[in-house]
Each structure stands twice: as C-alpha cells, then as structure tokens.
Structure 1
Amino acid sequence: MLGAALRRCAVAATTWAGPQGLLHSAQTPGPAAAIQSVRCYSHGSHETDEAFDAPWVTYFNKPDIDAWELRKGINTLITYDLVPEPKTTDAALRARRRLNDFASTVRILEAVKDKCEQFPGNTDDNILPYLNKFSFIEYQAM
C-alpha cells in the first residue's frame, strides 16, 4: 500500500516536470496529469466516550493495583487533551482510597481541577460530589 502511494507521488512529480527537469519553472502536464490527488487519512471507526472510559475504569478497579501503576495511569490519563469523566475519576479515587494514599488523592483532585478550568463553571460540578462522598475537608481549604 505504501509502495503504491509512493508510485503515485513519483508519477505525479514526473508528469509535472518540464522538459528540462524538475528545477525549471515551466510546467507541462503529461498524460498522467489527470490523476487526482490522493489523501491517505485514516478512516477508522470513531471511538465513543464510553469505549474510551471503560478500559480506564477497569484499570483503576483492579483489586491488585499498586501505587506505581495507579500513578502511571493517572499521569497517562491527564496527558490527554480531555477532562476525565466522573466515573473515571471516581474509580481512580476509590483505588487511592484502597491504597490509603491521601497525598495522591489531592493530586488527582488538583489535576481534575486544572483540566476543568478550561471549561468555566465545570470545576465545582465535577469535584464537589467526590469531596462529599469521601468526606474530605472543605475544598477551598485545600
């Protein structure tokens, strides 16, 4: 497939070359000039939000997950250009609760807060339910 695309590019380049080579500005189209340009974009299936979130929820709900795996998962999830869904954040916070790691819990909440700042009014809606559920101190005091 790649070879065919390269051949098409080579044919297109040679058909637009002038009689004295590629460096001349005179362009005389050859017989293969009728070839349309080909875009090689991926036409794969579009992943839904549920299909994206399901592996993350499964990853964070593993009973034998350790602190390193959890940090790696959170760091990978935060690098994406998106705000984590509430169910993904809930699974990550529950995993932190199982590991009894308060400092990492605060880091997760801060990361979600930073991501939510891109969308005004979204921060409190996404973070406050977790603070109430896990009996944290007042959010503004953190």
Structure 2
Amino acid sequence: MMRTQMLATALRARPAAAAARIAPKFTRMSSGHEQESFESFTQRYVTFFEGAEDLFEVQRGLNNCFAHDLVPAPSVVEAAVRAARRVNDYATAVRVFEGVREKVENKQQYKAYLDELKGLREELGIETSEELYHA
C-alpha cells in the first residue's frame, strides 16, 4: 500500500466526531454555492499555489486553505511549500508544516505527513520547527 493510500486510510479511520474535519464533502459556509468535494478542493488549492506569484498571495492562500475544517491533502501541502520556496520565503515553508501539525488529530497523522513529504523536505532543504528548535 502506498504511503498516500495509508495516509488517506488513517485519516478516514477516525472517530465519527473527528471525521467531520476531513469529510469527503463539506459546505462552504462563506458562499451560497453547492458542496465541494475533497478532490475538487485539493485540485483548486494545488492550482492556486502553483500560480502564486508573491509572498502575499502564498500567505493568503494558506490562510484560506487552513481556515477550512479539514486537513489539506499532501499534494496541497507540497504545492504550498514549493510556492513558499519559489517566492524565497523559508519561514513560510516551515510554517506550512506547523499548520499541518495543528490541523491533524494526533502525532501519528503528523508523522505520516512528514514521512510522505520527506523527499520534498530534503529536496528543498526544509526543516520542521521541531528540528530547528529541538522541541
């Protein structure tokens, strides 16, 4: 089983009360539009971060993405980290992982994200705040 599949399985196997955070469909309360699937949410933010041209835009996208009541898919996290490095802001790249740490329900899920994105972190030279501050 691939890591992405394992991560998706781990995230789906959560208790019912917590499952609402990452439900496959959710209602965007800020608009009167229909429900958006998790897949379309993921694609929307991957596309957004791939096109982000400056730090303000990257940070605005992160604020909007993390404001939803779900944990972004690893592909969204990867696109966000790459966007932060593209606009030459290391601190924002580190903070993307801090955002993931706050959104997941437990340390095992955070570890699964770190494992899934280890190659990206090595490629771009990104350390987590725990690695930077030995916390």
Give ranges in structure 1 of 5+ residues lacking alignment.
1-43
TM superposition shift of 1:127: 2.1
Bigger CA radius of gyration = 1
Match of 2:131? 141
Give ranges in structure 2 of 5+ residues lacking alignment.
1-32
TM-score by length of 1: 0.60
Matched residue type, 2:110: T
The one of 101, 110, 114 aligned to 2:98: 110
The alignment covers a number of residue pairs equal to 97
Cα RMSD between the aligned structures?
2.1
- What SS does the corresponding residue of 1:74 show, helix, strand or coil? helix
- What SS does the corresponding residue of 1:100 show, helix, strand or coil? coil
Q: Deviations over 1:10-57 (max 9, x none)?
A: xxxxxxxxxxxxxxxxxxxxxxxxxxxxxxxxxx75432111111111
Q: Deviations over 1:87-126 (max 9, x none)?
A: 111110111121121111111110111111x245211111
Separation of aligned partners in 2, 1:45 and 1:111: 27
Check if 1:82 corresponds to 2:82.
Answer: no
Identity of counterpart residues, as a percentage? 30
TM-score by length of 2: 0.63
Match of 1:58? 47
Separation of aligned partners in 2, 1:126 and 1:101: 21
